[in-house]
Amino acid sequence: MAYFDHAATTRLSERVRKAMDRHLRDVYGNPSSLHTPGIDARKTMNTVKNRLAEHFGVTRQNIVFTSSGTEANNLAIKGTYFRHPNEQIITTTIEHHATENSVRFIERVGGKTTYVGVDRDGFIDLEALKHALKTQTSLVSIIYANNEIGTIQPLKKIIPIIKAHGALLHFDMVQVPLHQAIDFSELEADFVSLSAHKFYGPRGSGCLIARDPALLEPLIHGGQQEFHRRAGTENVAAMVGFLEAYEAARENTKAHTEHVDNLSHYFIEQLNVKNFDYRLNGPDLDHSRLNAVLNIGFKGQDAQHLAFQLNRQGIYVSLGSACDSDNIELSHVLRAIDVPKAYIKGSMRISLSDENTREDIDHLLNTLEMLFNE
């Protein structure tokens, strides 16, 4: 097997599984219960949040656990809108569907929205952003590292523009933790979304880091959990898994990045050596991008057919966002960056991790050569 879909999900690591196991079986109390099992669960949850808060440069009151990065994005965007229904929400044309469809929902209920375009590498149009900002802009939501083409937005240019207008700022940083630490105290953002299963943690465990959670209207109503921002009995085992996965990612960031960078350079080098007619969609390697996320357009090919044939050979790639796998339309991200017609239909995403090897890359390339020559 050669798995090249780590931007969609990573496997649960053994370290994380072991950390979660005791809390799946033995620490079973409801954290809201006022008896010993419940208190034990509450202590565990508070310990998890305190340790994460140290990593993020915040307090535990700034961390709202969710079921996913998708829910975290929804909470940031809709939670802000419901507090300021007459104000504008701004986002970009290359967002994850969790953001895009949250903003589309706001449009359907009569809210004011604006989409800012990007250049051919996926970098936000700063002049268009300046023009879009209004006195009554409540929130700007931007994907920091794009899940389809790897583009990393220039925060040092973006943040001053938004802060000068007094708008709130949300970053979708779901793809980031394997590649760099997140210091919320230095970001000057108001909200950041994360999801554990993108860095060898459990599915069903995300979080929203919020500078002031009281600015958000809850989307789920019930009890007083998550400082009144997200009702429902907490999944303590998943929280433990999130923490363990994040700490492992921080410990391994340098080695992971070096390994992935080497693989991505080797892959592009071999595409050239073997004379593939291809296009790297998004920035060049090492140019403000995640080298782990390679969106490659093969001229004159059908990526859906290629992905199906690769799957039969035990090679797993994707066509873009895993949240859009049932949609046969071309990726909105690739359309937004104007990928040429000759390459867009043959575009696939190859997302790497430290579990991939050069042998995996060779297997992929050799199989593609075989398929192209059929």
Residues of the chain with pLDDT under 50: 322
Question: pLDDT at position 186, please?
Answer: 84
What confidence score (pLDDT) does residue 27 get? Answer: 84
Total domains in the fold of the chain: 2
Task: Kindly state whether residues 158 and 265 are assigned to the same domain.
Answer: no
SS3 302: coil
Of these residues, 323, 330, 365, 371, which one is catalytic? 323
Handedness of CA 300, 304, 305, 310 (dihedral sign): positive
Is 322 in the same domain as 305?
yes
- Collapsed DSSP state (helix, strand, coil) of residue 278: strand
> How confident is the model over 294-313, as pLDDT tens digits?
999 999 999 999 999 999 99
Q: Domain residues for 288?
A: 2-9+253-372
CATH number, domain with residue 362: 3.90.1150.10
323 counts as catalytic: yes
pLDDT of 189 reads 95
H/E element, 241: helix 236-273
What whole-number distance in Å separates Cα of residue 271 and Cα of residue 365? 8
Residues in contact with 277: Cβ distance below 8 Å, sequence separation at least 6, in sequence order:
298, 299, 300
What are 190-227's pLDDT values in tens digits? Answer: 999 999 999 999 999 999 999 999 999 999 999 989 88
CATH number at residue 72: 3.40.640.10
pLDDT, position 28: 86
pTM for this one?
A: 0.94
Closest listed residue to residue 336, CA positions, set 121, 97, 106: 121
